[in-house]
């Protein structure tokens, strides 16, 4: 668990973060969202002591981080940033191995970990381990950046706008990759973003920052259903809240026995995406599959009914 208690940061006469208290449960994803200058990145950096709080306390696993030397603390907390931060003259394997080497891992253990992470990100170790970052696409560099942050198996991963440099298609896949990997590893993640849609899709809880203040902290459905301020409402945008809620739910609980025509949609598809497919393809029901096995169908009526739920 990560606990922030009354955290503030002042630079000169400017208060960048003001009296913020938050808890992040072990194994959860907290997304921190806000406009530029809202204090979200400073808040993130106080967790690993890249920025020292002016007031308040940060605890990780119940321990005040001020009692831990900064370099020791950071070796136990993964950190991924926008632009990936890869060393350009080091190979993919050497980039991923940075922290394990600092921790004194032996060569065999490091090599095994590098290959395991490349496989986890669907990158063939034989094809990628000896490449330099310049030979990688933006999406591949992003994956390597996250793999490096996870290399020493940290229980906590901090991410500062990690997908900001990616195009929309690759960005969507990167989000899905992160969610899938987090479910496998149980890593606690704090992710900063300016993109409310990204915050809603990734976060188990969402913290909204405005001019240094925490103005709301809630799960995605509660945030959409009851925005606490006009600022939160503006970040959510002018779209229909029912459709925003439908994007947070998947079809798995709506599957019923029976046939349906056409190509199946995969289990885990959002209700919103499934409804769009039903309307575009003019099919009143869609087959649903997982790993090539048909599970049943989901009807348009069942999908539409989700829009009426609170």
Given a cut of 80, is residue 205 above it in pLDDT? Answer: yes
Distance CA 2, CA 47 (A): 8
CB 144 within 8 A of CB 84: yes
Buried b (16+ CB within 10 A) or exposed e, 251-268: beebbeeeebeeebbebe
CB neighbour list of residue 167: distance below 8 Å, 6 or more residues apart: 138
Q: What is the pTM of this model?
A: 0.81
Tens digit of pLDDT for each residue in 83-99?
667 899 999 999 999 98
pLDDT single digits (tens) 207-252: 999 999 999 999 998 998 899 999 998 988 866 677 778 888 889 8
Cβ atoms < 10 Å from Cβ of 36: 7
Reported as a single tens digit per residue, the pLDDT across 11-63 is 999 999 999 999 999 999 999 999 999 999 999 999 999 999 999 999 999 99
| R_g (Cα) of the chain, nearest Å | 21
d(CA 278, CA 104): 54
């Amino acid at each position: 668990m990560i606990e922030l208690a009354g955290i503030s940061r002042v630079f000169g006469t400017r208060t960048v973060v003001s009296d913020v208290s938050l808890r992040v449960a072990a194994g959860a994803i907290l997304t921190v969202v806000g406009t530029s200058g809202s204090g979200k990145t400073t808040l993130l950096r106080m967790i690993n002591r890249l920025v020292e709080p002016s007031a308040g306390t940060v605890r990780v696993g119940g321990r005040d981080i001020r009692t831990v030397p900064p370099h020791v603390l950071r070796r136990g907390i993964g950190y991924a940033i926008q632009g990936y931060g890869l060393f350009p003259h080091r190979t993919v394997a050497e980039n991923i191995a940075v922290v394990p080497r600092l921790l004194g891992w032996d060569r065999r253990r490091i090599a095994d970990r590098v290959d395991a992470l490349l496989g986890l990100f669907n990158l063939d170790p034989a094809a990628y381990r000896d490449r330099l970052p310049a030979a990688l696409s933006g999406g591949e560099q992003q994956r390597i950046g996250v793999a490096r942050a996870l290399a020493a198996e940290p229980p906590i991963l901090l991410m500062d706008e990690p997908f900001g440099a990616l195009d929309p298609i690759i960005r969507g896949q990167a989000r899905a990759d992160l969610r899938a990997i987090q479910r496998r590893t149980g890593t606690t993640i704090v992710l900063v973003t300016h993109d409310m849609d990204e915050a809603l899709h990734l976060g188990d809880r969402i913290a909204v920052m405005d001019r240094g203040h925490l103005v709301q902290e809630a799960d995605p459905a509660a945030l959409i259903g009851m925005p606490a301020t006009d600022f939160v409402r503006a970040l959510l945008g002018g779209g229909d809240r029912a459709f925003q809620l439908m994007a947070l739910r998947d079809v798995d609980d709506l599957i019923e026995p029976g046939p349906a025509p056409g190509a199946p949609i995969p289990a885990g598809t959002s209700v919103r995406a499934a409804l769009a497919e039903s309307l575009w393809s003019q099919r009143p029901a869609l087959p649903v599959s997982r790993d090539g096995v048909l599970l049943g169908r989901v009807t348009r009526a069942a999908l539409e009914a989700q829009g009426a739920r609170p």
